[in-house]
C-alpha cells in the first residue's frame, strides 16, 4: 500500500508511513522505543473528564499515557489494522478505530482536544486533515500537532524534519481554524499547540 504525502512529490511505502505486516510490526517497536510521548502529553495537558482524540496512534505509546490520565474518553484513528491491534494491547478501554486524519468517522464537536505525533507530514492533504480536526474538536477546544524536529532530534529521524515553509503552512493552517497557535521545540519534536479558551493555555513542558 502506498500514499502520497503533501510534504513530498513522491509516493511513500515505508513501514513507518503505513505500517503493515511483519515490517510494520518491527517499525512499530522502533516507534515505541524512540517516540517518547511524555512532553507532548504534558503540552496537551488533559483535564479531568475531557474527551481526547489521537490521530495516527501507531503502536499506542501516547494512547497508553492518555488512558492513564484523567481523560473521560480516549479515542483514536489510524489506517493500519496492525497498529490498532498493538495499541489495543496497551489500552483496552480506549475507543480505537480505523480511519485517517482526513476522515476520522467521528461526529461534529465530539472532542475537547485532539493530538497527533509524527503523522502530519504523512497526510495526503494537510488542509483536509486540518478541516477534519476543526470539525471534530468543539469550539474553544485545542489541538496539538507534533512532528520530527525539536531541540535534539535523534540522528535516525533528523532527515524527516520539515522545511520552514511547510512548518509555516501547518502553523498558518492551525491559526486560520483555531485562533492562537504557539510553537514549541520539545526534545525530539516540533510541536504546535492551537486553540483553547485562553489560546496560550498550553504551557512549556
Ligand X SMILES: C[S@@+](CC[C@H](N)C(=O)[O-])C[C@H]1O[C@@H](n2cnc3c(N)ncnc32)[C@H](O)[C@@H]1O
**Alpha-helical regions (H) of 35-75:** 38-44, 61-67
65 vs 102: CA distance, rounded Å: 24
The residues facing 113 across adjacent strands are 52, 142
Closest CA to 31 of 106, 86, 89: 86
78 near ligand X (CB under 6 A): yes
Q: Which residues contact 74 (CB under 8 A, 6 or more apart)?
A: 52, 54, 63, 66, 67, 91, 93, 94, 95
Give the residue with the Cβ less far from ligand X, 57 or 111. Answer: 57
7 vs 41: CA distance, rounded Å: 25
18 near ligand X (CB under 6 A): yes
CB of 197 to ligand X, least distance (A): 26
65 vs 90: CA distance, rounded Å: 9
CB of 198 to ligand X, least distance (A): 27
56 near ligand X (CB under 6 A): yes
Among 58, 141, 195, 196, binds ligand X (CB under 6 A): 58
Interface with ligand X by CB under 6 A: which range of 57-65, 132-140, 180-188, 193-201?
57-65
The interface with ligand X within residues 105-124 (CB under 6 A) comprises 117-119, 122-123
Closest CA to 114 of 153, 70, 62: 62
Size, binding site for ligand X by CB under 6 A: 22
Three cell numbers at 188?
525530539
The interface with ligand X within residues 22-41 (CB under 6 A) comprises 31, 35
Among 43, 91, 101, 167, binds ligand X (CB under 6 A): 101
61 near ligand X (CB under 6 A): yes
The interface with ligand X within residues 177-196 (CB under 6 A) comprises none
Residue nearest to ligand X according to CB distances in the complex: 58
What does the binding site for ligand X look like in residue numbers (CB under 6 A)?
16-19, 31, 35, 55-58, 61, 78-80, 83, 100-101, 117-119, 122-123
Amino acid at each position: 500500500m502506498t500514499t502520497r504525502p503533501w510534504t513530498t512529490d513522491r509516493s511513500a511505502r515505508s513501514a513507518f508511513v503505513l505500517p503493515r505486516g511483519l515490517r510494520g510490526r518491527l517499525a512499530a517497536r522502533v516507534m515505541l522505543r524512540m517516540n517518547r510521548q511524555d512532553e507532548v502529553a504534558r503540552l496537551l495537558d488533559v483535564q479531568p473528564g475531557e474527551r481526547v482524540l489521537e490521530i495516527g496512534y501507531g503502536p499506542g505509546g501516547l494512547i497508553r499515557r492518555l488512558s492513564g490520565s484523567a481523560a473521560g474518553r480516549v479515542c483514536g484513528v489510524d489506517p493500519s489494522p496492525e497498529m490498532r491491534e498493538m495499541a489495543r494491547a496497551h489500552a483496552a478501554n480506549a475507543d480505537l478505530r480505523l480511519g485517517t486524519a482526513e476522515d476520522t468517522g467521528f461526529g461534529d464537536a465530539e472532542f475537547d482536544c485532539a493530538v497527533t505525533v509524527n503523522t502530519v507530514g504523512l497526510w495526503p492533504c494537510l488542509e483536509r486533515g486540518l478541516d477534519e480536526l476543526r470539525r471534530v474538536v468543539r469550539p474553544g477546544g485545542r489541538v496539538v500537532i507534533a512532528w520530527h524536529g525539536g531541540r535534539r532530534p535523534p540522528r535516525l529521524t533528523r532527515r524527516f524534519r520539515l522545511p520552514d515553509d511547510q512548518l509555516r503552512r501547518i502553523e498558518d493552517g492551525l491559526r486560520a481554524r483555531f485562533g492562537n497557535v504557539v510553537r514549541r521545540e520539545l526534545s525530539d519534536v516540533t510541536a504546535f499547540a492551537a486553540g483553547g479558551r485562553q489560546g496560550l493555555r498550553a504551557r512549556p513542558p
